[in-house]
Structure 1
């Protein structure tokens, strides 16, 4: 772990040289491949230092962080071309990546909390520094206050654990706490980060105002921090979870259905994709809260799949935005005439978003449907509505943006360039080839 973190730290001074943008991107590519070949034991922490270690859950999410950060640099070519303080932009992304790696590899609950909160700051800088509109300040404040207000009680509950247990190392926390207040304080930070319906208002605002890199990191990694925290912390909350989890599961499943309906009346491309993230994460929350193996692995699989799929859709929305200078579905109509080669990518990523085979989303949703229906067959009603409307808004997004009469009346064709095709390919290939290795989940079981 230290090798990776030190390499990233020493890359920060490199950002301030001239014309270094693509070199940093290539070095990050190289490091993500080096990290990919780390062999991880399936049952325990390894690569351990005093407070940093890595098991299979951390490994997948750190690799996803690397991958999304590399693709953020590939997507943000306009920052480099127009020279929008690109040195600070590179430094910001490197610091964010270091904080994410430290978050996912922390073996101590306090360090996890510390880095979990710290990763908010570079994201805030991304939105405020490189966002498009004046409303980005309001979006930044929403992001900051929603997340901080929910996670300060968690700090108190971490101190409570230390007082009771005299240790905060994950593998030493084997007590089951029977305290209602502790349960709510511990879990609210993660539910806001996911985000759960009713505390989700910061997400569409942050997504719409963020630059493409901000949207990618929010959809790809930041929403996964909440899920990762819940996977780690629920061993402390088993007894309370058996009593109280049904509250959050009911809110999540009903909220997922309502958000799917909200998606169908969005006219902003980025807003639609942001709301679809809330719908997907509602299933992840429910899966983790069933406290079953199938829910545990299904939620993990869907987090990885959603990170790649949602990030790819934001890239496509940005490509349309760069050509038409609008995110409105009313203006981005008939894109099949204007950018015909992008239509295939819209179709592939929209179909992955609605969990069509052979995407990894399908595997995650099969796991989750099994676990949630096993928990209570009444949930089938909401799950079936959720699955149906998931397909409905994905088709709505695809057909409204690609078909129809072109708004501008211009019939020149403007296809993407190689950088954009590479960017989309690197989202789609892992998303659809990882399902071939789905036997890994069965190995864990």
Structure 2
């Protein structure tokens, strides 16, 4: 009898978190439940952290869902970022601006992300991968700031949808030939077809986004509310990386012929985008472009397909998710005070919020991969993998790393120093909620380095 209970418990392991989120949805529609939903998500976060995870294989398999270490880390990141999204959106709560629908939308988005990272079937993965686009679009259009948000939403939608139809056809082709779409069994395949390769890979490269198909990202970030920017930078870009890590299993042979193409585009694009960061006058836009530069190194690491590259891309994805989300929080903190994100107006902030300049320093130093952040570990691994592929990549890596530190320092010095804007007529310093929110971004980002062995031995 005890074994039967244990079996049933394990069978329902992944399902119980899904049910918990589904039953949270009616709670979102009740009055004055804003912080209650956040507390419930906190509880779910700690329950999920206590899962027993096998380092080598998929585990907790139930109803087409399971986790391995790759999806485990990304699901944890998703729940964590959603908790912080609710914490950062207190202004909506104060103004009572469609707050119930906002919470409902966020929980729906979390369900989509949870299912995307945990399903074992490739078609179901596609379904939820695209499904997560809808609540993100609603966030941008419903709670964005400027009228251009409609255009930004359309950019986001059509860039992603244009390349997702070939992905769907590619998945159908695999099923037609192999009669199986289970991700675990796909590792036994070797599909050496050019059209299939491009159809499978392009959707994920647009989502990352790779240079040349990145134009939707800065637009979406600039127009999105703080919660939209946090989920976009924290999780949505990681969907592309996760998809690539999964489909590369059965596209190995052809990828080794074509990977130089993506690596060259990414490294040159990363360098150019790093330069473009110096031209930005909008804080959010600068942070968004820095995300593209970071993701370019992640794409290169995945495409090389060696051990260091896979590990580094996974670590950098998690590190960047926390770091970038924290920086968007900081940008929003300034926006709530001055109602502008322009660098010309947000100057001399050290005079007004000296404590907040410490958080700017800590998160920007993590952004430029200073120790002890996860970004450093990820970048070291990725630099290792790229150098093992070709010595020539050293030139671009040096430039990207140097300018990464450059635009981080440029942003910090421009915001914190100089004469403050004379038009500031009312101001208030940071509140405890904001400091807690920033602490919850920075703490895991720099403490996880102590347990980096979990990231390093995941397959």
Q: Map 1:192-207 to 2 at 5 A.
A: 192-207=206-221
| Alpha-carbon distance in structure 2 between the residues aligned to 1:215 and 1:222 | 10
| Alpha-carbon distance in structure 1 between the residues aligned to 2:267 and 2:229 | 24
Q: Map 1:168-179 to 2 at 5 A.
A: 168-173=181-186, 174-179=188-193
- SS for the counterpart of 2:108 is helix
Establish whether residue 340 from structure 1 lines up as the match of residue 354 from structure 2: yes
Establish whether residue 240 from structure 1 lines up as the match of residue 240 from structure 2: no
Give the deviation of 1:304 after TM superposition.
0.1
Q: Map 1:61-210 to 2 at 5 A.
A: 61-173=74-186, 174-210=188-224
Q: Aligned residue for 2:20?
A: 7
Give the deviation of 1:441 after TM superposition.
3.6
Q: Aligned residue for 2:11?
A: none
Q: Which of 221, 231, 234 does residue 217 from structure 1 map onto?
A: 231
Q: What are the superposed Cα offsets for residues 296-342 of structure 1, whole Å, 9 maximum, x if unpaired?
A: 00000000000000000000000000000000000000010111110
Q: Which of 351, 367, 388 does residue 365 from structure 2 map onto?
A: 351
| Alpha-carbon distance in structure 1 between the residues aligned to 2:284 and 2:29 | 32
| Alpha-carbon distance in structure 1 between the residues aligned to 2:287 and 2:364 | 10
| Alpha-carbon distance in structure 1 between the residues aligned to 2:360 and 2:458 | 34
**Aligned CA-pair RMSD:** 1.1
Q: Is the 8 A contact 2:88 2:227 kept in 1?
A: yes
| Alpha-carbon distance in structure 1 between the residues aligned to 2:442 and 2:418 | 26
- SS for the counterpart of 1:332 is coil
Q: Aligned residue for 1:368?
A: 382
Q: Is the 8 A contact 1:15 1:24 kept in 2?
A: yes
| Alpha-carbon distance in structure 1 between the residues aligned to 2:192 and 2:423 | 65
Give the deviation of 1:248 after TM superposition.
0.6
TM-score, normalization by structure 1? 0.99
Q: Is the 8 A contact 2:319 2:445 kept in 1?
A: yes
Q: Aligned residue for 2:9?
A: none
Give the deviation of 1:408 after TM superposition.
2.2
Q: What are the superposed Cα offsets for residues 142-197 of structure 1, whole Å, 9 maximum, x if unpaired?
A: 00000000111000000110011110001111211111011111000000000000
TM-score, normalization by structure 2? 0.96
Q: Aligned residue for 1:51?
A: 64
Higher mean C-alpha displacement, 326-335 vs 41-50:
41-50
Q: Aligned residue for 1:319?
A: 333
Gap regions ≥5 residues in structure 1: none
Q: Which of 417, 427, 435 does residue 441 from structure 2 map onto?
A: 427
Gap regions ≥5 residues in structure 2: 1-13
Q: 1:244 to 1:436 in 2, by over 3 A?
A: same
- SS for the counterpart of 2:210 is coil
- SS for the counterpart of 1:47 is strand
| Alpha-carbon distance in structure 1 between the residues aligned to 2:202 and 2:305 | 17
Q: Is the 8 A contact 2:136 2:228 kept in 1?
A: yes
- SS for the counterpart of 1:416 is coil
Q: What are the superposed Cα offsets for residues 28-48 of structure 1, whole Å, 9 maximum, x if unpaired?
A: 111111111112110111111
- SS for the counterpart of 1:48 is strand
